[in-house]
Structures are given as C-alpha cells and as structure tokens.
Structure 1
Amino acid sequence: MSNPVFRVMLRFDINPGMEEGFEQTWLSIGSVITDHPANRGQWLMKDSEQASTYYVISDWVDEPRFREFEHSDEHVEHRKKLHPYRHGGAMFTMNVVFALPAGEAAKALR
C-alpha cells in the first residue's frame, strides 16, 4: 500500500436512553480529531442489532502520531465529554494492508 494507514476502531457501549446525546456530543467535538494534522478522517457508526452500541473508526498517518494524539490534553478533554454516556467499550488498533475502492479489486491483481 503506497500510503500506509494506521486505523483505530473503538466500540462504545452507551447507557440506554442516552444515544442521541452521545451522537450529538461526538459530532460537536469531532473536530478535535479531524483537525489534527495526522488524522485522515473518522466515522461514527451505530450497530444495526444493538441499539446502544456504537463504533468509531479513525485513520491516522502512522501509529506514533496517533499515540502522540492519544496522550494529548485535547484527547483527554474529548474523552471526558463522552464518558458520561458510556458504560463500557473497547479499542482495537490495526494497520491497513490493502484498500480496494469499488471496482478496483481486479486492478490490484494485475
């Protein structure tokens, strides 16, 4: 992959009845992440079967820059604002090996 991507996936277990507040808070503080020069974007997704479970994916230029952000004061404040909505969750980190935009799989094999 010519432009490596370090991907972070978070699972948020939200207190029942607080989903809308969580969504609005996440949206209102999203620029804390997307304005960081090492961030390549982030997405909030809601589980289709568990109404109070959400996932966030954020892409970074590399792991060291993500870890730098993870330990920053801005991120600590970001987490404090989301904490009242959640009762659990998990974090998964990974390196993207291949990315195949729609219609690109055949080209990757040539």
Structure 2
Amino acid sequence: MPDGWRKMGVLVFYDLPVVSPEQRLAAVRFHKFLLADGFERMHYSIYARYCGSMERAATYERRVEQALPAVGHVNLLKLTDRQMVGMRKWIRGNYRAPENAEFVPPAQYQLF
C-alpha cells in the first residue's frame, strides 16, 4: 500500500443538544475533550486531528467513542493523507474569526 494511503487523519462532526443545563455541560465537556486530545477546530462543530497511521486513527476513534455524551449526534470520518491534502480552505471578504477562536499551538509536534 502506498505510504500516502497509510497515514490517516480524523474528522469529528457533532450536533449536541444544549436545551438543559446538563446538556450544555455535556456539550462543553465533549468540546474540551476534543481540544485536550489534540483536535483542532476547523469549524463550529467540526474538529480534525492528523494521526499519522491507521492504528493511531483507530486509537482516537476509540477515545472519542468513550467520551461520547449521552444524547446527540457525533460522526467520525477517517481520511487518508492523500484525501486530506485535497482539502481546500477559502476565506473571502472582510471576514474575522470569532475572538475566542485563537490558534493554540500543540504542545508536541509529530514529524514524518
């Protein structure tokens, strides 16, 4: 198998209810779990993490599954390195990122 197909990234998409205080707390805990586990926020409820291998992607899949809130929709998509390279990002006009969306560099980088 070519090397570009072995390296993996993980995308997590979620839609969690925030009607009751308990649901809001569960949503905040899940959000904080993703950030603490090394995921980067791509959009409001979309987080990505580059894993480096299929085995590590499976590990993060299990970790996300263990942290799932009791109620809500959570989707996880594993992509190969070649598929992630095809991702494009456009920001047009006078767009400003939300003030609380600061980039926080990871504590450790993975070299390939």
- Name the TM-score, length of structure 2 as normaliser: 0.48
Higher strand share: 1
- Name the TM-score, length of structure 1 as normaliser: 0.49
